[in-house]
Structure 1
Amino acid sequence: MKRSRQTFEEIAASLRVLEVDWMEDPHAGKVITMLKSLPVGRKITGNDVIKILETDFRAASTVLRLFLGMAKDEYDRDIPALFEGTGAGKVTKFKQDPKAFVAAFAKLDLLKKINAEVTRPLEWSDRLVGLFEGGWGSARKGQLRGRMLEDFVEDILLKIFSKDQIIPRCQFLGASGLSSEKADFAIPSAEDAHILIEVKAFNATGSKQTDVLGDIYRIVEQRRDDTAFILVTDGISWKARQNDLRKIIKLQNEGRIRKIYTMAMADQLEADLRSLAEGIV
């Protein structure tokens, strides 16, 4: 081979758009065939779901994920949390008891979503909407979950404190007097926070989950010891990251987090905030 000296312009001129047909992938073909094999003219039943899972568990799992509107990492993380014991939502668990396996999906309204989808009239725009949802929409869902949980907390705070005492998404002044750590809510001010509240809707994986733990640890380390630090979190995904949740609960047991709340604990959160409010002048 002859030696050569290439230039940017030479390489740039040779670049082209890499277009591929994702439907040529064997798995995609199986999923599409399976979708087309679903019965029409009647309601889809649990037995229909069992049948496709028996035919090809991997392809059927993708079909179920599509009907549930879940990204792959979201499905792989959250579905095992529906089950207990060997298999954790995988083929082993299905083979142990197919009916019980499919019944577990009732918590996510699977059959309702399937039947709503298969009876919905289609328009040409539906395919593009689906592509949009699979990309931007998947990421946006995580943001919306977080905002929903923040709104839940703020609604409770407004029952107890005046609006000017609720400082959202702020940098609070900590024990050193130099802290610039952030919290979702500081009360009654960021400069002299008696209460700090961090809100974590857990729906992330990997580095994002590391960020969740890191945010909590940093607040624990930076706050004054007499500042009540409250964590509000939710999401079935915690069941798939039990060790991480245990680490946070350990902080609560050590008194470094005053208390951990979920949306199901709304009454407790309101009552405890009212109690804490009595100590704020």
Structure 2
Amino acid sequence: MPSFEEYVASLGALTSHVDPTLENEEGRLIKAAAEGLAALESITRESLAAWVAEQPRGTGVGVLGLVVGLSQEALRNSLRHGLGSPAFPKAARENPVGLVDYMEAEYSLLSLLESQRGRQYDFGDVLVARAGTRALATRAGQAGRQLEDEIEEIAKSLGLPYQTRCRFEGRTASAPCDLALPAGDSAAQIVVAAKSFGSTGSKLTDAVREIEEMALVRKPTQFVFAVIDGIGWKGRINDLRRIYNLWSSGQINGMYTLASLGQFQDDLAEAAAILRMTKD
């Protein structure tokens, strides 16, 4: 049997490097679609809807997503939210006008397309485009911090002491939380989870698990709240329902979105009053 160090030394890459300049079938379809967009005499809702309907396999829908800076998963989540279905071919075939209208209302599609399609791009632009996934990851992190910042500001506005991004002690174990009042560890009396899910599901399992863990270890005297938002959850309804069931069964005390933060503030203030919690 090899030692642990030998095992680690034997680890290798599971994927080989791919030349980014080589085109695959998807790349060729995107390039052809882009050439078609550039050739349109004018950019209008009608001309775009007709163009989308002509593209094979719903390719035009994905290309319009790229125009406004959306990954495929982010675009699918957006279409599910706005049009009721994430399927590119269905949108192109059955509702191209509605698709264009929705993307114009949400992302200013027409002006973005007009400003980009005739522009000359240099090597730096190519590298920036390849770094796009990193930029998306940054925006996803910013979305998560938005929820955390909002709940922190509410705690501040109520004059309550708190600690962010910590663990709290429950009955027989500890669990992670994004906000603990008045502090983390054994001092925690109110704990809050803030979980956003805008486009990627990479951290979804952790989000659900953490909230379930909070509900499991809580003491009877502790309050547990969850602030959850992002249209990506609509694509993982069963996971969202697991958290909702914790709320409906009384295992956590509240579940909120950004739109219902006013109710969260009221419930947090009420919990703090019950616990006689005041700022030092």
Give TM class, smaller chain.
Answer: 0.7 to 0.9
Match of 1:6 in 2: none
Aligned length: 258
2:129 is aligned with 1:137: no
1:88 deviates by 4.3
1:160 is aligned, of 158, 161, 166, to: 158
CA–CA distance in structure 2, aligned partners of residues 224 and 61 of structure 1: 50
In the TM superposition, what is the alpha-carbon distance from 1:264 to its structure 2 partner? 1.1
Conserved in 2, the CA contact under 8 Å of 1:157 and 1:166?
yes
Task: Report what 2:10 is aligned to.
Answer: none
Q: Which one of 258, 272, 275 corresponds to residue 263 of structure 1? A: 258
1:68-79 alignment runs, 5 A limit: 68-79=68-79
Q: Does 1:104 align with 2:102?
A: yes
SS at match of 1:48: helix
Contact 1:22–1:28, Cα closer than 8 Å, also in 2 = no
Q: Does the 8 Å CA contact 2:82/2:102 hold for their aligned counterparts?
A: yes
Residue 183 in structure 1 maps to residue 177 in structure 2: yes
Post-superposition offset of 1:119: 6.5
Aligned-residue Cα RMSD (Å) equals 2.5
Aligned residue identity for 2:174: S
Task: Spell out the pairing of 1:23-102 with structure 2 (5 A cutoff).
Answer: 23-39=22-38, 44-56=43-55, 57-84=57-84, 88-102=86-100
Deviations 1:190-239 (A, max 9, x none): 22222110000013655632222111110100111221111011101121
DSSP-derived class of the 1:229 partner: strand
The normalised TM-score by structure 1 is: 0.81
Identical pairs, percent: 26
Measure the CA separation in 1 of the matches of 2:144 and 2:179. 14
2:195·2:207 contact (CA, 8 Å) conserved in 1?
yes
Query: Matched residue of 1:127: which SS?
Result: helix
Residue 99 of structure 1 aligns to a residue whose secondary structure is: helix
The 10-residue stretch of structure 1 (148-157 or 205-214) with the greater mean CA deviation from structure 2: 205-214
Partner of 1:9: none
> Partners in 2 of 1:154 and 1:116 — Cα distance?
39
User: Per-residue displacement from partner, 1:40-90 (whole Å, max 9, x unpaired)?
Assistant: 798622223212322214321221121221222333344222223xx5443
Q: Secondary structure at the match of 1:37?
A: helix
Q: Structure 1 residues 121, 205: CA separation in 2 closer, same or farther (over 3 Å shift)?
A: closer
**Contact 2:162–2:183, Cα closer than 8 Å, also in 1:** yes
Supply the distance in 2 between the matched residues of 1:187 and 1:72 (Cα, whole angstroms): 39
Select 1:277's aligned residue among 257, 272, 276: 272
SS at match of 1:255: coil
Task: Please state if 1:169 is matched with 2:165.
Answer: yes
| 2-structure distance, mates of 1:93, 1:137 | 27
| 2:211 partner amino acid | I
Match of 1:242 among 237, 242, 256: 237
Checking the alignment, whether the CA contact within 8 Å between 2:225 and 2:255 is kept in structure 1 is yes
Relative to the length of structure 2, the TM-score reads 0.81
In the aligned structure 2, how far is the partner of 1:271 from the partner of 1:236? 25
